Amino acid sequence: MNDIETGDVSAAGASSAVSLDVPDHLQYSVDHVWLEDNEELAVIGLTEYAANQMGELVYIDLPAPGTSVRAGDEITEIESAKTVQNLISPVEGTVRYVNQSVVDDPQVINNDPYGEGWILKLELEDDEPELMTADQYAAMLKRL
């Protein structure tokens, strides 16, 4: 697992370092979505970086199982106290499962983005998605 520190500037202008986890076994998109490509289904979630940037999550709208998505599609709407963002699918596939626990309590994503905070599971249409490794994603975060 990569632990990286990114700079953060508070409202008062003081810099502080924020430590983020970037698990090695996952793949990442430039839109801060992670993907775990299992043999049967791909699990998709929001990265710790994105969850931290959004703040306390209060609402998530998930697609119905059976929904077809293409890479680049907006597949969920995620609302926090600060903003509303769409989760962009990094891959093409069909939604097979959604995580009802993140609908019931979106803060599960804030508390455990790479575990209990997974968002949905897709049956992939594309066997070779073009995503970043953990090292590549960590390097991108350091540039932000």
For residue 71, what is the domain's CATH number? 2.40.50.100
Of 56 and 126, the structure prediction assigns the larger pLDDT to 56
In a domain, 1, yes or no: no
Is 70 exceeded by the pLDDT of residue 136? yes
> Can you read off the two tokens belonging to residue 124?
């992939």
Q: What is the pLDDT of residues 63-110, one digit of tens each?
A: 999 999 999 999 999 999 999 999 999 999 999 999 999 999 999 999
* Residue 9 placed within a domain: no
Q: Would 15 be classed as within a structural domain?
A: no
Q: Which domain holds residue 103?
A: 25-130
- Note the pLDDT of residue 38: 85
Secondary element (H or E) of residue 141 = helix 134-143
Dihedral sign (CA 134, 137, 143, 144): negative
What is the pLDDT, as a whole number, of residue 46? 97
Global pTM value: 0.85
Across 103-118, average pLDDT:
97
At 60, list the tokens: 């998530």
Counting every residue written for the chain, the total comes to 144
121 within a domain of the structure (yes/no): yes
Model confidence at 12: pLDDT above 60:
no
Q: Are 15 and 70 in contact (CB under 8 A)?
A: no
- For residues 35 and 43, what is the distance between their CA atoms, to the nearest angstrom? 6
13 domain-assigned: no
* Longest CA–CA separation in the chain, Å: 48
Query: DSSP strand E in 23-125: where?
Result: 27-28, 33-37, 42-46, 57-61, 68-69, 74-80, 84-88, 93-98, 120-124
Answer whether residue 137 is part of any domain: no
The predicted structure's pLDDT at residue 129: 76
Q: Choose between 2 and 30: higher pLDDT.
A: 30
Residue 5 has pLDDT above 70, yes or no: no
Taking only the tens place, the pLDDT of each residue in 14-55 is: 334 557 889 999 999 999 999 999 888 999 999 999 999 999
* Number of domains the chain is built from: 1
